[in-house]
Amino acid sequence: MKTEMITLKHGDASIKMPASSLAKLAMASVFAQVLPSANVQPAPQSPAPEIGKPWPGQGGINGGFVHARGDVPAHYLIIAAKDVGSLEWGGRGVEVKGLSKTDGYTNTKVLIGNDDERKYPAADACAEYQADGHHDFYLPAAAELYQGWLNCPEVFARDCYYWSSSQRSAYNAFSMLFGDGYQYVFGKLDELRVRPVRRFFI
């Protein structure tokens, strides 16, 4: 699920980008040199749709731009077009190490890759979700759910809580009510709504 990143350096300047983007640029450059008359150029990026609207080919709805943070480059948050049900968070009584309030992608990787034989239904369902050929969805962190409430709360159900992948304790995890933006903690055995998200790197 993790996007491979490559850092290019020249003197004091450096740029970090997804390996797939670098490969496209390199291929376009080669074709332009080999076939100059063809005037081959990288395909232009289609403009981002309005926040809260479907983004064709990206597996869901434009949830807004997210600035780079730590090792995570700038990207758009893509919100799946539908929920995947009401599920338990899982792992009651276990304080899972390595979870954060901001990085749902890493949280989900930690939860689905655990070695304690416990199941984490909400994270598992998001990791299994696919749309438009994308199979890199995850259970959003508390901060990512909050971004959804700030940018496009209307794409979520307004009368129920949604699980985040951010843990509060061994027995509780954070959730979001999209009717009023209230963040709360529920027991990990409670069944709350679940909505996958993914990242579209630019």
Phi first, then psi, for residue 124 (nearest 5°) are -60, -45
Parse the chain into domains and list their residue ranges: 5-38, 54-201
Supply the pTM of this predicted model.
0.78
Q: Give the tens place of pLDDT for each residue, 49-89.
A: 999 999 999 999 999 999 999 999 999 999 999 999 999 99
* Contacts for 62 with CB less than 8 Å, ≥ 6 apart: 48, 49, 50, 51, 52, 53, 54, 55, 76, 78, 79, 152
Q: Are 21 and 28 in contact (CB under 8 A)?
A: no
Structure tokens at 109: 């990787």
3-class state of residue 127 by DSSP: helix
Residue 5 pLDDT > 70 = no
Tokens of 153: 């709360």
Q: What is the pLDDT of residues 95-123, one digit of tens each?
A: 999 999 999 999 999 999 877 667 999 99
- Distance (Å, whole) CA 55 – CA 59: 7
Q: How confident is the model at residue 9 (pLDDT cuts 50, 70, 90)?
A: low
CA 124 to centroid of chain Cα atoms: 14
The tokens of 119 are what?
């199941």
Give pLDDT tens digits for 152-162: 999 999 999 99
Query: How much is the pLDDT for 149?
Result: 97
Q: pLDDT band for 147, please (50, 70, 90 cuts).
A: very high
Beta strands in the chain (DSSP E): 5-10, 13-18, 54-55, 60-66, 75-80, 86-88, 161-167, 172-177, 182-187, 191-193, 197-201
Q: Is there a contact between 133 and 114 (Cβ–Cβ < 8 Å)?
A: no
